[in-house]
Amino acid sequence: MSPLGNLLRSSLGRKLIMALTGVVMVGFVVGHLVGNLQIFQSPDHLNGYAAFLHQLGPLLWVARIGLIVSVALHIWAATSLTLENKRARGNEPYAVKTWLRASLASRAVRWTGYIVLAFLIYHLAHFTLGVAGSDHFKSNLPTYTMQEDYRVAGFMVVKAGAVVADVHSMVILGFQSVAVSLFYIIAVGLLSFHLLHGIDSLFQTLGWRSTNWARVLRGVALAFCVIYFVGNLLIPGAVLTGAKGLRPGFSREAVKTTSVQR
C-alpha cells in the first residue's frame, strides 16, 4: 500500500485531511467576507475587486478547483469517519452517554455541513453564475465606469475609466429580496455553527488543545464565529433596512437597458 493509500485508510490520516481542507475553507470564507464588506465603500471598491478577480483568468479557476477539491475531500473524510465510528460503536449503551456529553455543534456538524453545501451551490448560481434568483442577471450584467483606480497591496489593478461589471448593484438588488436575504442569513448562521465545531476540532487534531488551553481555544473559536456571522449579517441587514441602497442614477430598470455580455 502506498503512503497516500495508508493515509486515506487510517482514521488519523482522514482527520488530518479534514483539518487541512478545513484551513483552506476557513481561509476562503474569511477572504470572501473581507471582499464582500467592500460594499460599504464606494462602488469602485467592490466593482474593482470583482474586475480584479476576473482578470486573474486561469488562476481564478485554479483557486476555484482547489476549493472544490478541498470541499469534496472534507465531505468524504467526514462521512467516512462517521460511518466508521457507527460501525465500531454498534448498539453499545455507552454511545448514548457519549452523545449526551457532546456539544450541540458537534452533534449537528454533519447536517449543518450538508445544508451549507446546498447554500454554497445556490449562492454561486445566484451571484457568480447568475442562473438563479433573478432574471436580470441570467445573461447580462449592468456596467459601471470606474471613477478611481482600484489598488491591491498598493498596486493599481483596475484603472479609472475602465468599464466593468456592476457587481455592487447586483448584490444590492439580490439582497432586496427578503426571501434571498433570510435564506442567506440562516445559511451563514449554520455555517458559523459548523465552523465553531470545525475550528475546535482543528485545534485538537493539530495537538494544540490541552486541559489548560481548551477553554481559551474554545473562546477563540467562538469569538471568530460570532464576528464572522455578524460581518455577513451586516450586508443583507443594511440592504433590507435601506441603510445601503443602489448608487445614485441606478435603478432596477437600468439592468435591462445598460448591460454587458458575460
User: So what's the pLDDT on residue 244?
Assistant: 92
Question: pLDDT tens across 102-134, in order?
Answer: 444 455 555 666 666 666 666 566 555 555 444
Give the C-alpha distances (Å, rounded to integers) separating 155 from 44, 52, 72, 151, 152: 15, 11, 35, 5, 5
Sign of CA dihedral 173, 174, 180, 186: negative
In angstroms, the CA 77 to CA 128 distance is 28
Q: Is the model more confident about 143 or about 3?
A: 143
Whole-number percent of the chain with pLDDT over 90: 27
Q: Is the model more confident about 217 or about 131?
A: 217
What does pLDDT average to over the chain? Answer: 78
User: So what's the pLDDT on residue 181?
Assistant: 92
In terms of C-beta distances under 8 Å and separation of at least 24 residues, what long-range contacts does 14-19 make, across chains too? 14/77, 14/80, 14/81, 15/77, 15/81, 15/205, 16/205, 17/73, 17/74, 17/77, 18/74, 18/77, 18/78, 18/81, 18/201, 18/205, 19/201, 19/202, 19/205, 19/206
Question: pLDDT tens across 53-108, in order?
Answer: 989 889 988 988 888 888 888 888 888 877 777 777 665 544 444 443 344 445 55
Q: Is the pLDDT of residue 227 over 90?
A: yes
Please check whether residue 33 is in contact with residue 224, taking contact to mean a CB–CB distance below 8 angstroms.
Answer: no
> 3-261, what's its fold?
3 helical TM bundles of succinate and fumarate reductases (1.20.1300)
User: So what's the pLDDT on residue 226?
Assistant: 94
Question: pLDDT tens across 26-57, in order?
Answer: 888 899 899 999 999 999 999 999 999 989 88
Give the distance, in angstroms, between the CA of residue 73 and the centroid of all CA atoms in the same chain: 16
Mean local confidence (pLDDT), 201-213: 72
Beta bridge partners of 151: 156
User: So what's the pLDDT on residue 136?
Assistant: 46
Residue 15 pLDDT level (bands cut at 50, 70, 90) = confident
User: So what's the pLDDT on residue 125?
Assistant: 60
The set of cell numbers assigned to 90 is 454498534
Name the pTM for this structure: 0.77
Q: Closest Cα partner for 170 from 194, 203, 136, 197?
A: 136
Domain segments of the chain as ranges: 3-261
